Amino acid sequence: MMANKIVYFFIVIFLSIGSVKLEAYILLNESDKISTPLPQPYEGKIYSRNDLNLFIDNSLTSGKQPIIIFGANWCPDCRIFSGTMEIPRIKSFIMQHFDILYVDVKRYEINMGLMEEYGIPSQEGIPRVLVFDHEKNLLNSSTTAEWRTARERSSQDIFNFFQDLALKRQ
């Protein structure tokens, strides 16, 4: 009898914690769809480590969290990821909390060494999403490749990624 009460207590606590987190999310609806044609945010610019540091510094000065996305316009996962970020509800949220820099890798022939500067092997597979904290530390070094299969994920999954980052920052 006592064991049943303990199990019930933990179930109630678990469900309460889960519901609090779910309530914190902004949920997308049927009108929140990716527009076509998909964006092509990669401009072929060659960046230096100093360019990236300046971007990070400027983002932090403006009170936003810096995110650098390595990718290319030929990559469907990169375009779907950036297209999802352009959904108005998501874009508004991102603009409020984050600064995004798109770094073009072309056909893995430019800017690849910059990933290694942050301890990320410059191997194929994009997009690579790098998230920095207020002390310029890379927060997600082990999961930068998470979105290489963005086309297999829902818009809500991608939005939740950004919402999670914003909640952790508070």
Strands 98-104 and 65-71: parallel
Structure tokens given for 33: 């769809």
- How much is the CA Rg of the chain, to the nearest whole Å? 18
Q: Which helix (H) or strand (E) holds 131?
A: strand 128-131
Q: CA 113 to CA 119: how far, in whole Å?
A: 10
Q: CA 21 to CA 99: how far, in whole Å?
A: 24
With 0-12 / 13-18 / 19 or more C-beta atoms within 10 angstroms meaning exposed / middle / buried, residue 60 is: middle
pLDDT digits (tens, 9 = 90+) for 122-143: 888 999 999 999 999 999 999 9
Q: What pLDDT, on a 0 to 100 scale, did the predictor assign at position 108?
A: 95
Q: What pLDDT, on a 0 to 100 scale, did the predictor assign at position 2?
A: 52
Q: What percent of the chain has pLDDT over 70?
A: 86
